[in-house]
Amino acid sequence: MGVNLKGRHLLSMLDFSTDEILAVLDTARALKAKRGAIEACSKLPLKDKTLAMIFQKPSLRTRVSFETGMTLLGGHAIYLAPTDISLGKRETTEDIALVLSRYVDIIMARVFGHNIVVDLAKSATVPVINGLSDYEHPCQIMADLLTVMERKGRLKGLKGCYIGDGNNVCHSLMFGAARVGMHFTAITPEGYEPQREVVQIAEKAGAATGAKMTVTSDLQAARGADMVYTDVWASMGQESEAEARKKIFKDYRIDEKTMKLADKDCVILHCLPAHYGDEIDYATSRLPNSAIFDQAENRMWTQNAVMLHLLGAA
Ligand code: CP
Ligand code: NVA
């Protein structure tokens, strides 16, 4: 697939077309298969390249997978903690983007407001990757699509189901499913659905690939699912709502009951971190159908693929 993503940004799963997503997944698969070869290779593809990683929120996977990934590709990553640059307080987003663009080759940012990654991308002269905003988490969904592909051998025509809060992960998953032709059902308590605008855009994108988008509060909608996915009930920044949400979300979880409804070969996904006993029970998370740690590993391979493509080195 001859796609050219050089100089582009990844802020949303919608930023890449179907072919572009599939090309990135192909590159990620090749990187994963050749891990040893990359380590042994003297001509490292991102030698002398630097990634700046801006964090307004905590992280395990995003930080470590980007930093390790950059090392494997021969480049260097700089971690900028929330207090290091105090985005929006010490300096404007525009100035941060302009200054970083004079030093580094690519920027990844984990932020609260999605407008911050949009603003970074507007001013930066280097590619910007959204490492999670309150609205989307595209890096996660790239890894999830690779994981489902590994387990099921295809994406198109599968029945994907998300149970829980209609949050950033749910939004990106809906967009990603629409792009790759996977039917998608978001099962959420009333009032916690994915944003209406997201559903409308995903429906449109899905119409082009044959993917049907559904939003419901009915847990029975997980019947026959090829993939079930969940995420925390209260996201970063919603800590004060956590107790109240426990009551509202108590049935919106992946457990034995869900697995009885789903297809017997259903893949279980969770972006992690998990709150065992809430959105997923521990035993279910450890079933052979569970791919939650493959997802975590695949963050690195898919992000490496994204960086290679955005830097024109794929
Ligand atoms: N899934 C994910 O983004 O994990 P971190 O918050 O640990 O980066
Ligand atoms: N929805 C979660 C995802 C964490 C990776 C959050 O935003 O905190």
Return the minimum-mean-pLDDT range out of 11-15, 81-85, 156-160, 243-247. Answer: 81-85
Q: Summarize pLDDT for 231-286 with one digit per residue, the tens.
A: 999 999 999 999 999 999 999 999 999 999 999 999 999 999 999 999 999 999 99
The residue nearest atom 3 of ligand 1, judged by CA position, is 62
Q: Are residues 71 and 122 located together in one domain of the fold?
A: yes
Report whether residue 231 contacts ligand 2, using a CB cutoff of 6 Å. yes
Cα 101 to ligand 2 centre (Å): 27
Residue 110's CATH number: 3.40.50.1370
Report whether residue 271 contacts ligand 1, using a CB cutoff of 6 Å. yes
State the Cα–Cα distance between residues 271 and 132, nearest whole angstrom. 12
pLDDT of residue 40: 55
pLDDT band at residue 293, thresholds of 50, 70 and 90? Answer: very high
Ligand nearest to the CA of 296: 1
| Structural domain total, the chain | 2
Report whether residue 60 contacts ligand 1, using a CB cutoff of 6 Å. yes
Q: Are residues 89 and 210 located together in one domain of the fold?
A: no
Cα 49 to ligand 1 centre (Å): 24
- Domain around 31: 13-137+299-310
Q: Are residues 196 and 266 located together in one domain of the fold?
A: yes
Report whether residue 136 contacts ligand 2, using a CB cutoff of 6 Å. no
Q: Are residues 20 and 113 located together in one domain of the fold?
A: yes
With residue 99 as reference, give the H or E element that holds it: helix 93-103
| Contacts with 245 (C-beta within 8 Å, 6 or more apart), sequence order | 165, 233, 234, 238
Report whether residue 132 contacts ligand 1, using a CB cutoff of 6 Å. yes
Q: What does the angle CA 47 – CA 30 – CA 145 come to, to the nearest 5 degrees?
A: 110
Would residue 281 count as lying in a domain? yes
**Residue in 25, 18, 38 with CA at minimum distance from that of residue 303:** 25
Alpha-carbon torsion 301, 231, 141, 294, what sign? positive
> Which of 139, 271, 272, 275 is the pocket-test mutation for ligand 2 (most atoms within 8 Å of CB)?
271
| Contacts with 85 (C-beta within 8 Å, 6 or more apart), sequence order | 54, 91, 96
| Contacts with 56 (C-beta within 8 Å, 6 or more apart), sequence order | 82, 87, 109, 110, 111, 112, 116
Q: Summarize pLDDT for 67-93 with one digit per residue, the tens.
A: 999 999 999 999 999 999 888 889 999
Would residue 266 count as lying in a domain? yes
Q: Summarize pLDDT for 201-217 with one digit per residue, the tens.
A: 999 999 999 999 999 99
Whole-Å CA distances, 141 to 29, 193, 276: 15, 18, 21
Render 249-290 in DSSP notation, one character per residue: TTTSSBSHHHHHHS-TTPEEEE-S---BTTTB-HHHHTSTTB
- Indicate if the pLDDT at residue 1 is higher than 90: no
Q: Are residues 230 and 153 located together in one domain of the fold?
A: yes
Q: Are residues 144 and 291 located together in one domain of the fold?
A: yes
State the Cα–Cα distance between residues 311 and 304, nearest whole angstrom. 11
Match 């990757």 to its residue by tokens. 129
Catalytic residue set: 110, 137, 140, 231, 271, 299
- Indicate if the pLDDT at residue 36 is higher than 90: no
pLDDT of residue 44: 87
Q: Are residues 33 and 156 located together in one domain of the fold?
A: no
pLDDT of residue 88: 82
**Residue in 73, 72, 119 with CA at minimum distance from that of residue 100:** 119
- Indicate if the pLDDT at residue 227 is higher than 80: yes
- Indicate if the pLDDT at residue 9 is higher than 70: yes
| Contacts with 283 (C-beta within 8 Å, 6 or more apart), sequence order | 256
The residue nearest atom 2 of ligand 1, judged by CA position, is 61
Cα torsion 61, 63, 69, 72 to 10°: value is -120
Cα torsion 128, 126, 44, 67 to 10°: value is -40
Q: CB-based burial of residue 2 (10 Å sphere; 0-12 exposed, 13-18 middle, 19+ buried)? A: exposed
Q: Are residues 88 and 161 located together in one domain of the fold?
A: no
The whole-chain average pLDDT of the chain stands at 96
